[in-house]
Amino acid sequence: MTSTPILKGDLPAIFIDGEVGTTGLQIRERIEGRRDLRLVSVPSEARKDPAARRDAMAEADLAILCLPDAAAREAVAMAEELGASAPRILDASTAHRVAPGWEFGFAELAPGHADAIAAARKVANPGCYSTGAIALLRPLVDRGLVPAGHPLSINAVSGYSGGGRQMIEAFESGAAPALEVYGLGFSHKHLPEIERYAGLAVRPIFIPSVGNFRQGMLVSIPLHLDTLPGRPAAADLEAAYRAHYGAGGLVRVVATTPDDRLEPEALNGTDAMELRVFGLPDGAHALLVARLDNLGKGASGAAVQNAGLMLGLASADLQARAA
């Protein structure tokens, strides 16, 4: 177990650098009513003033970065210039997810990983797609049910809220289509973290899509079971998930039937993620599916979970959101 963090004041202090964006706003909404921490802010007119941001970092125990990649790197450099007054860093951008010296902020990744996040000075919040893909793959790779070098395809659909201001405006103005498939250059920004933290030796094919709904996400991975070592059944894969994630946490394993239908918005407003394995008892095929709110466990909810670990805070509010 990790020790209680040393704080700069009586209550843990958090500075959200970039709090006016989608992720930052939702993080603030989740924590602003808590009595076990305080929020450090800069006036709206000083949000881009380096001196004001530096002063806020010096006051904070934890800085949560909700910035574009280049700005996040600049913010980390700014924090490091503070020396002993530097806050711990939780970066919600893509900039540091596979960078040396950064802990990956998926608490359920492996046994003891939540303690590693709690002890870390710098934590990179996962991407939404990668949260689902890694949750589905890592337990199977760790147990040898899916070899690290096995060729894999990952498909996903997300609400448009994770696509930034221009995408949000396009969908909400009616200018966007019902569905768009993208990432067709096979180089989506979440691929490096999926490959590393799922434990893969071969980069998977990942084809995401965005639908005309604000938030919610499905990530699915088809498997030919008779190409895997030992030819596991769908029940074996589900058992591996149950052994890895246990019961009562934010990641839940849900039993399935062949008649199930899944829509991506069912967990909106929560920080939960559901994992399912579809397959006939003696079938040669299986489909792995993760469902989550791309703004919950896929972004802001994960950030608050990680902040709670890093600052030693109780997570009762997170568990309530999992209901």
Side chain identity, residue 83: G
Residues 83 and 58: their CA atoms lie apart, in Å, by 9
Strand order in the sheet with 205-211: 179-181, 205-211, 153-158, 217-224, 285-292, 273-278, 251-253
Residue of 120, 81, 84 whose CA lies nearest to 99: 120
Residues 145 and 137: their CA atoms lie apart, in Å, by 10
Residue 41, CA distances (Å) to 30, 77, 81, 120 in order: 15, 19, 20, 23
- Cα 182 → chain centroid: 20
Q: Which two tokens stand for residue 175?
A: 């200018």
Q: Where are the alpha helices (DSSP H) in 63-188?
A: 69-80, 113-119, 128-142, 164-172
Residues 310 and 75: their CA atoms lie apart, in Å, by 19
Candidate list 66, 72, 128, 191, residue with the active-site label: 128
Place of tokens 């002063």: 55
Side chain identity, residue 247: A
Q: Which two tokens stand for residue 69?
A: 């990649």
- 128 is a catalytic site residue: yes
Listed in sequence order, the residues at least 6 apart from 73 whose beta carbon sits closer than 8 Å to its beta carbon are 95, 96
Residues 310 and 289: their CA atoms lie apart, in Å, by 30
Residue 316: count other Cβ atoms within 10 Å of its Cβ: 11
Active centre residues (catalytic): 128
